[in-house]
Amino acid sequence: MLKSSTQQQKNILNTVIGALPDNRPITSLQLVEEFEKCPRNFQPINKTYDQDQDADLWREKMLIGKRTTRYLCQSKSEGLPGYIVETLKVINEKEISPDGFSQLTRTADTEQKAWRKKQLVYRLAKKGSAKQAVTDIILCSRLRQAPEGFTLAGDINGILVCFKTSAIPHRPSPSVPSRQSITDLEKTIENLKIQSNCPNESQDHEYEQLLPTYQLSPKRVAPKPPMYSTGTLNIHTDVEGVPFVLNPALKQYAVNQLMKFQLVYTTNMTFTWNDKFFAQQNRKMLKLQIPFFSKHTGNE
């Protein structure tokens, strides 16, 4: 079910694409005996435009034996690179091709004689220089003149060969610079070289001149990096960088309190020899003077 739906969508898409006009220029032509054997990237013209009948260009009645046929094929991608078909013309079979025109002498599939009585010739032109290009070819079996928008190339055994052309837009070629403009350009380049080699004092001091204008210098000193860290996280405090100094008033208060403690301790305790040794150690560490130590111990 899914495959059939996908195939149906592809058929619809191909139908829509086929209905759209293809204004690309034709780049090559071929002739085949059987339109099913049309070369790759070529499309056979096997039906007439006006009657939708067989578009055989040989058109020879055969009562006995195999019928000989010739079908025209066109391509918009093959052929000489950069060349397009500019115009078509029908001439007699033995007539010499006009100057600049090419002819098809053999069928592409069977290498047989291409034409009978009449032949189709075409002219190639470079895509960049051609003014027009053939974009479509139709074959008519009943009409005696080309349909509107088409040009008649001629009649081949009762089949009218008609083609449509379209103008090829061209971009204007760039103007060739004159000798005077080239000289002026050379002078300008030389002046630029001289200016680049000359020292420029204003450029040397350009940075200093911009400093006060744009205030590029910082207004305050950048903070110092942290003095310590814990693990991978740096700890910053509000008093970082401020030296720790004890207030002199607090320092004197601490000394007075220590002296009071010394006085109470020495007057309320009776020292032994061990006490004396302990006091000596404390005296060394605290650097305190006990003037009445010898009164209580009797041993200095």
Walk me through the domains of the chain, giving residue ranges and CATH numbers: 18-167 (2.100.10.50)
Among 71-85, 194-208, 215-229, top mean pLDDT goes to 71-85
pLDDT reading at 236 higher than 80: no
Query: What is the rounded distance in angstroms from the CA atom of residue 27 to the CA atom of residue 41?
Result: 11
The answer to whether residues 291 and 263 touch, using CB atoms and an 8 Å cutoff, is no
- pLDDT band, residue 86 (cuts 50/70/90): very high
Return the minimum-mean-pLDDT range out of 23-37, 148-162, 216-230.
216-230
Is the confidence at residue 286, as pLDDT, over 60? no
Per this entry, what is the length of the chain?
300
What pLDDT score was predicted for residue 147? 94
Q: Which of 76-80, 116-120, 224-228 has the lowest mean pLDDT?
A: 224-228
Name the more confident of 107 and 283: 107
Work out the pLDDT band at 294, boundaries 50, 70, 90. very low
Assess whether pLDDT exceeds 60 at residue 72: yes
Question: What share of the chain has pLDDT > 90, as a percent?
Answer: 41
pLDDT (0 to 100) of residue 187? 78
Rounded Cα–Cα distance for residues 151 and 138 (Å): 10
pLDDT at 62: 73
Report phi then psi at 41, rounded to 5.
Answer: 65, 20
Q: Is the pLDDT of residue 212 over 70?
A: no
pLDDT reported for residue 146: 94
Identify the pLDDT of residue 299: 47
The residue with greater pLDDT, 88 or 253, is: 88
Strands 159-167 and 132-140: antiparallel
Q: Tell me the CA end-to-end span of the chain in Å, nearest whole number.
A: 123
Average pLDDT, the chain: 76
Q: Cα-flanking dihedrals φ and ψ of residue 118, to 5°?
A: -125, 160
Residue 143, phi then psi, degrees to nearest 5: -65, 145
d(CA 281, CA 279): 5
Q: What is the pLDDT of residue 270?
A: 45
pLDDT at 118 over 60: yes
